[in-house]
Structure 1
Amino acid sequence: MGRKYFVARIIIASVILLLILISLIIRMYHVQIDRHDELFEKAKNTYTSTVKKEGKRGEIYDINGNLLVGNKPCVNIAADPGEIGDSIKCRELAEYLHKMLDVDYDNIYRRLSTKVNEANGKDIRYVIIKKEVELELGERIRHDVKLKKYKGVIFENKTKRFYPKNKLVANILGFINIDGNKVVPEGGIERTVNTNVTPTASVSEIERTRKGIRLSGEEEKLKAVQDGNNVYLTISEPIQMIVEDELDKLMLQFNPDAAYAVMADPYTGNIIAMAQRPSFDPNDRTKMDPKAWRNRITEDSFEPGSIMKSTIVSAALDMGFVNPDTKIDCEGGHWLFSGRILSEAAGHGHNIISVTDIIRVSSNIGTAKIAVMMGKKNVYDTIRKFGFGQKSGIPLKPESVGLMLKPEKWDGLTISRYPIGQGFTVTPLQMVRAYCALANGGKLVDLRLIDRQKNPATGEEIKMEILQPLGSIFKNPNTRKKIVDMMKLVTKKGGTAEKAGVKGYEVAGKTGTAQKVIDGVYSNTQHVASFVGFVPADKPAFVMLVTVDEPKLKSYYGGVVAAPAFNHIAKKALRIMNIPTEYEVPEEEEEDDL
C-alpha cells in the first residue's frame, strides 16, 4: 500500500513537472518566436533612445557683418504621459503648465492623461507641450518641476530664429515657420538661401540604463553635424536704417497706402538699401497684417508716369533724332493726337521749348512728340533695352515683370503714352535698374542682394559673381553726359524736383506723378508720386527711387512728396559713405539734418 502510494505520488509529480515544462516551452516559444518583434521593440525603447543632433541654421548679416538674422537658445517642453502618474497628478501638472506657458488647460490635460494610442494600441511616450519657449522661462519651469517633483516632463534644448533688428529689413529677410520638425521658410532671403543655411542632422541609437543614464562610451556614437553657411547681403545696415526712418516719416506726413525706397550701386547692381511701409516684425507674427508681409517692391508693378521720360529721351539723343537744343512745339499745353487730347500736368502750358527743357519741366507733349519721331519699333526696343518687361536679377521670389504690350498690339495712342509712363506697368526694381544704366553710361547691370557666403567651420568664403553686361545701351559715348546734364537741371531752381537737391553735390534725377487706374479709368484723386535719381551726378555713389502710393494730402506730386525724402536720405548716406562734396556750401546755406 505504502509503495503503491509512493509510486503514484512520483507519477503525479512527474506529470505536473512535465506539464510545467511544456507550458514553459510554449511560453518561451510565444515570447521568442510569436512576440519576438514586439518585445524586442519594447526592450529597445526601454534601454535605448534615439538622439537627433543637428547643427545651427546659418546666420544672415549685412555686407559689413552686422547680424540681421541669428539663432538663440530656447527650450521645447514635452511630456511622457506614462511617467506622470494618476489623474490627480495629470491635473496638477496641466494646471501648472497652463499657467506658466499660456496653453489651453483642457487640451493639455487630455494629452497628458491619454496614455495609449487608440488607433494602434501603443503606449504614448511623447507629447509636445510648447515649442521655442524662452530660455529664461524654460529654466524657471525646469526648476519648479524638480522642486514640485513632477514626473514625465521633458526639456529639449533647442535654438530658434530671431531677428535682432525687428522691423528692419523684414520684407527682404522673410521668416521661417516650424511644421512639426520641419523648417518652412516663408518668403524673402530665408527662402532664397534655405538650402545653403540649412545645417546637417544626424540620428543615433544610444543605449542607456533602466534609469535612463547613457552607458559609458555611448557619446562616441553621436554622429558629427555641420552648421549651415552664413550669408552676407549687399545691404548696408546704417543706410537701411536711414531709409526706413524716412519712410516712417513719409507715412506719418502723407498717410499713403504704401511707401517704398530702393538704393543701388549703379556699377555693381548691389542693393544698398531696400524698404517698404507698411512692414512687420518677424519676431511677433501674431499681429502681422498679410498686406505688410507681402514684398511690394518685387511683387507689385505700377504705371511709372514721368520718371519714364529720361529713358526715351536718352535713346532719342543716342540715335540722333534730337539733340539737347532741338526745339519742340508743346502746343501751349494741349495736343490732339490720334483723336485724343494729351495735356500737360497741373494745367501747365509750354509752347516751343528745347529738349533740355522738356526734361527740366517734365513736358508730356514734348516727350510724346520725340517718341513719335523715333517710331514704334525704336520706342519699344528702348523700353526693353532698359530692362522693362524683364526680371531684375534679384534673387527674391516671386518677382513681377510688369505688364506691357508688344508693338503689334498697340493702338494709335500707345506710342504717345508709353514714353510718358502711361498704359503699361513697371516694378520699382526695374526702374532702379534702368536708372543704374543711365548713371553708369549705358550698362544694364543685374541687381544683386547676396554678396557672399561663409562656411562657419572652415572660414571659406564664396563670393557671389558680379555679372557685367556685354556692350552698352548707348552707341554714342556722349549720350550719358547729354541726358545727365538735363537731369541735373530737374533738381535745380526751375526744375520739378528742386527739393531733391543736396547742398554740395550735383544731383541728377526725374520726378513722376502717375494717375492710378481705378475700374479701368484714370483717377483724378489717386496717384503714385515718385522721384528717382543719382548722386554725385557725374560719378554716382548710388541710384535711389522713392515712391509713395496714394499720398492723402492735396499736394501729391513727386517733386513735393518723394523728392524731399530723397534729399533727406541722400545727404545722410553720402556722409556715411564718405563721399566728398563737389563744391563748397556757404555756411548760411548749410542744411540741418531732418
Structure 2
Amino acid sequence: MHPNNGSLHPWRFRIVIGMLALCSLAVCWRIVELHVLDEGFLKNQGDKRSVRHVPIPAHRGQITDRNGEPLAVSTPVLTIWANPTQLIKHPDRWPELARELGTDLATFSERLKANADKEFIYLRRRMVPADGEAVMALRVPGVYSIEEYRRFYPAGEVAAHLVGFTNVDEKGQEGIELAYDHWLEGVPGKRQVLQDRRGRLIKDVQVVSNARPGNDLALSIDLRLQYLAHRQLREALQEFEARAGSIVMIDVRTGEVLAMANHPSYNPNNRANLQPDAMRNRALIDVFEPGSTVKPISMSAALATGRWSPRDQVNVYPGTLQIGRYTIRDVSRAPGGVLDLTGILLKSSNVGMSKVAFDVGGPALYETMHAVGFGQYTGLGFPGERVGNLPSFREWRQAETAALSYGYGLSVTTVQLAQAYAILANNGRKVPMSLLRLNEQPAAQQVMPEQVARTIQGMLQEVVEGTGGTHRARVPGYHVGGKSGTARKTASGSRGYQQDAYRSLFAGFAPGSNPRLAIAVVIDEPSKGGYYGGLVAAPVFSGLMSNALRLLNITPDNLNELQQVELPSPERPEGRG
C-alpha cells in the first residue's frame, strides 16, 4: 500500500495552497483598489466615454446706426457635420443626403471617402434653419447638427466699408467688426449631456454655464444720410466715368461722422466674387494732395499774423510766378492783375496764395495745418487708417512754402480734409472725431483764433455765392461756404505726375450763419465731361448737403434767395371730368 501523495510531498501542497491564497488576496486587493481607492479615476474614465460638454452658441452684438437702425445682426443657422467612420457604412443614404445638402453626389462621395478615417468633417455650414432641419429629418446615421449664428448686413454695400464683415466663425475681419471685435463677440455657454459610444444623445444633464451675448454698438452715422451719400457718389461716378470716390460728412459741433461713403463698394452678404480693391475704405486709407482745398487753411495762417485782412490786395500779374526753374501758374486771369485775399480764394490763385505765404513763412503754415489735423491720426481707431504726410523742413525755401500753401507737397485723407473744414466751421474749435454715437457734448479745443475762423467762413461763403464763384455748390435756402480743388495725381513708382489724371475735390459747410455740417467730396480720375473740382465734386456736395439739411430739419438762413412760386388756381381745369 502506497502512502498519500500529499504526505509524501507536503511542501508541494503547501506551495499550491499558498499560491491560491496569494491570488485570492491579489484579486481582493484589486477589487478594493478599483472600488474604493481609485473610484474617482474610474468614474472619470467612464464619464469621458459618456459625459460630454456641448457648447451653447452666443450671438454677436448688434451694430446699429445712431437711430437704432440695424447695420449688422446675427441670425440663427444650422451647421451640418458628419462622422465619416459611421456615414461611410451607409452608401445607400448618400444620394438623398447630397440632394438635401445641395451638393453633387460624385463630389460628396469623393470627399467622404477621402476622410473615411476621420471622425469629424463639416458637410455644410450656416444653413437656413428650415433647410438644416430638412437634412436632419432624413435621420442618416453619422450626420449631426450644430446651432450657430450667421452675420447679416441689412444695409448691404451702402455701409460695407465702415461696418466691415466677419469670417465664417464670426470673428471680425474688416472695419468696425474688426476694431470692436472683443466688444461685439459673445461668450459661448456649456451644457453637460450623456451620449452613447456613437455620439447619440441619451440625456441632457444640466447647463454648466449660460451663453453671454455680445455687446451692442451704436455708430455715429445716420443710415438715411449714408444712403444719400452713397447715391450721390454713385451717380457722380457714373456721370463723369470716374475711377473711384469718397464722401465724409461730420457734425461740426460733436465731431461725429454722420456719413462715410466710398465707391466702388461690395456686398458683405455675398463675397463670392469680391475684389480686394473694392474692400478699401478710401475715405480713411487713400491719401492724396488736397490742392486748392488747403488754401483757406493757409489763408487763416495769414490772418492770424494780424498783418493781413480780407481786403488787402496782392498783385498776381501776369498769372505766373517764377521761382528758379519752378513756375507757378494760375488757371484764371485776375481782372487788372490785382486780387484781394477773398479774391485769391474765389479765383483760386496759386500766385496770389504763394505771395501771401512768402510773407507768412513756412513754419506758420505748418503749425496751422498741423493744428487742424493734417499729418496726424484722427483718433477714430479704424483699422488701417493712414496718417498722410505734412512735411516740416529745417530750412523753408520759397518753392516748398509756395507748394504747401496751395495744397501740394503734403498728403491727407478725405476724413482729415472734412475735419479741417469742420474746425473752420466750428469757429476754430477742434472736437475729437467719433465713429460711435455720443450721448454728451465733447470738450472742444481752440486751435485757431475764433475771429480768424469766422472771417474765413465769410470768405468761403463769398467763394460759393459771389460773382464768378463756385455756383454749383449752392444750396437753395441756405448760405454755404466751401472751396473746390483740382489736384494732379502722382505717378506711382516714379517721380512726377501722371498725364491727364486728376482728383476733383470740394469741401465746405452749411448753414453759413451757424454751421452744423461739414462735407468733403473726392472724385478720383473723372474721364468724361471735365475734371475741375467746381464742375465734378461741387454738385455732389450741393446735392448731399441740400438733402441732409432738410432731413435734419435745420432752419434755412437764406430764404430771400428762394423764388416765390405762385400756386395754381384751385378751380377745375376745363375739359376734365
Task: Tell me if 1:547 matches 2:522.
Answer: yes
Please give the alpha-carbon distance, in whole angstroms, between the structure 2 residues aligned to 1:201 and 1:74: 15
Task: Tell me if 1:516 matches 2:502.
Answer: no
Match of 2:337 among 351, 356, 361: 351
After TM superposition, the structure 1 = structure 2 runs for residues 257-336 of structure 1, keeping only pairs within 5 Å, are 257-336=243-322
Q: Aligned letter for 1:68?
A: L
Q: Aligned letter for 1:134?
A: V
Q: CA deviation at 1:39?
A: 8.4
- Give the structure 1 partner of residue 212 of structure 2: 226
Q: Secondary structure at the match of 1:481?
A: helix
Q: Aligned letter for 1:207?
A: L
Please give the alpha-carbon distance, in whole angstroms, between the structure 2 residues aligned to 1:88 and 1:163: 39
Q: CA deviation at 1:572?
A: 1.0
Please give the alpha-carbon distance, in whole angstroms, between the structure 1 residues aligned to 2:299 and 2:336: 18
Judging changes above 3 Å, is the alpha-carbon distance between structure 1 residues 25 and 367 closer, same or farther for their aligned structure 2 residues? same
Task: Tell me if 1:81 matches 2:84.
Answer: yes
Match of 2:174 among 187, 191, 197: 187
Q: Aligned letter for 2:174?
A: G
Aligned-pair identity in percent equals 27
Task: Tell me if 1:586 matches 2:573.
Answer: no
Please give the alpha-carbon distance, in whole angstroms, between the structure 2 residues aligned to 1:472 and 1:404: 17
Instruction: Judge conservation of contact 1:94–1:112 (CA < 8 Å) in 2.
Output: no
Q: Secondary structure at the match of 1:322?
A: coil
Please give the alpha-carbon distance, in whole angstroms, between the structure 1 residues aligned to 2:69 and 2:313: 53
Q: CA deviation at 1:199?
A: 1.4
Instruction: Judge conservation of contact 1:94–1:105 (CA < 8 Å) in 2.
Output: no
Please give the alpha-carbon distance, in whole angstroms, between the structure 1 residues aligned to 2:500 and 2:201: 73
- Give the structure 2 partner of residue 63 of structure 1: 66
Equivalent pairs counted in the alignment come to: 546
Q: Once superposed, what is the RMSD of the aligned Cα atoms?
A: 3.3
Q: Aligned letter for 2:446?
A: G
Instruction: Judge conservation of contact 1:433–1:445 (CA < 8 Å) in 2.
Output: no
Judging changes above 3 Å, is the alpha-carbon distance between structure 1 residues 187 and 407 closer, same or farther for their aligned structure 2 residues? same
- Give the structure 2 partner of residue 456 of structure 1: none
Q: Aligned letter for 1:468?
A: A
1:502-558 C-alpha deviation (Å, 9 max, x unpaired): 111100000000011113112340000011000101211200011101111141000
- Give the structure 1 partner of residue 451 of structure 2: 478
- Give the structure 1 partner of residue 385 of structure 2: 399
Judging changes above 3 Å, is the alpha-carbon distance between structure 1 residues 410 and 137 closer, same or farther for their aligned structure 2 residues? farther
Please give the alpha-carbon distance, in whole angstroms, between the structure 1 residues aligned to 2:566 and 2:270: 44
Q: Secondary structure at the match of 1:70?
A: strand
- Give the structure 2 partner of residue 566 of structure 1: 541
Judging changes above 3 Å, is the alpha-carbon distance between structure 1 residues 326 and 347 closer, same or farther for their aligned structure 2 residues? closer
Match of 1:139 among 126, 133, 155: 133
5+ residue gaps, structure 1, are: 5-10, 116-123, 453-462
Q: CA deviation at 1:403?
A: 1.8
Task: Tell me if 1:170 matches 2:160.
Answer: yes
Q: CA deviation at 1:61?
A: 0.3
Please give the alpha-carbon distance, in whole angstroms, between the structure 1 residues aligned to 2:109 and 2:101: 9
Q: CA deviation at 1:384?
A: 1.0
Please give the alpha-carbon distance, in whole angstroms, between the structure 1 residues aligned to 2:366 and 2:154: 46
Q: Aligned letter for 2:490?
A: V
Q: Secondary structure at the match of 2:172?
A: strand
Q: Aligned letter for 1:203?
A: K
Instruction: Judge conservation of contact 1:47–1:212 (CA < 8 Å) in 2.
Output: no
Judging changes above 3 Å, is the alpha-carbon distance between structure 1 residues 578 and 469 closer, same or farther for their aligned structure 2 residues? closer
Instruction: Judge conservation of contact 1:69–1:164 (CA < 8 Å) in 2.
Output: yes
Task: Tell me if 1:202 matches 2:177.
Answer: no
Instruction: Judge conservation of contact 2:332–2:349 (CA < 8 Å) in 1.
Output: no
Instruction: Judge conservation of contact 1:334–1:349 (CA < 8 Å) in 2.
Output: no
Q: Secondary structure at the match of 1:291?
A: helix
Please give the alpha-carbon distance, in whole angstroms, between the structure 1 residues aligned to 2:525 and 2:428: 32
Task: Tell me if 1:503 matches 2:476.
Answer: yes
Please give the alpha-carbon distance, in whole angstroms, between the structure 1 residues aligned to 2:418 and 2:157: 23
Instruction: Judge conservation of contact 2:98–2:104 (CA < 8 Å) in 1.
Output: no
Q: Secondary structure at the match of 2:72?
A: strand
Q: CA deviation at 1:340?
A: 1.9
Please give the alpha-carbon distance, in whole angstroms, between the structure 2 residues aligned to 1:440 and 1:340: 37
Q: CA deviation at 1:443?
A: 0.9
Q: Secondary structure at the match of 1:509?
A: strand
Q: Secondary structure at the match of 1:430?
A: helix
Judging changes above 3 Å, is the alpha-carbon distance between structure 1 residues 151 and 251 closer, same or farther for their aligned structure 2 residues? same
Judging changes above 3 Å, is the alpha-carbon distance between structure 1 residues 213 and 404 closer, same or farther for their aligned structure 2 residues? closer
The normalised TM-score by structure 2 is 0.86
- Give the structure 2 partner of residue 155 of structure 1: 145
Q: Aligned letter for 1:342?
A: I
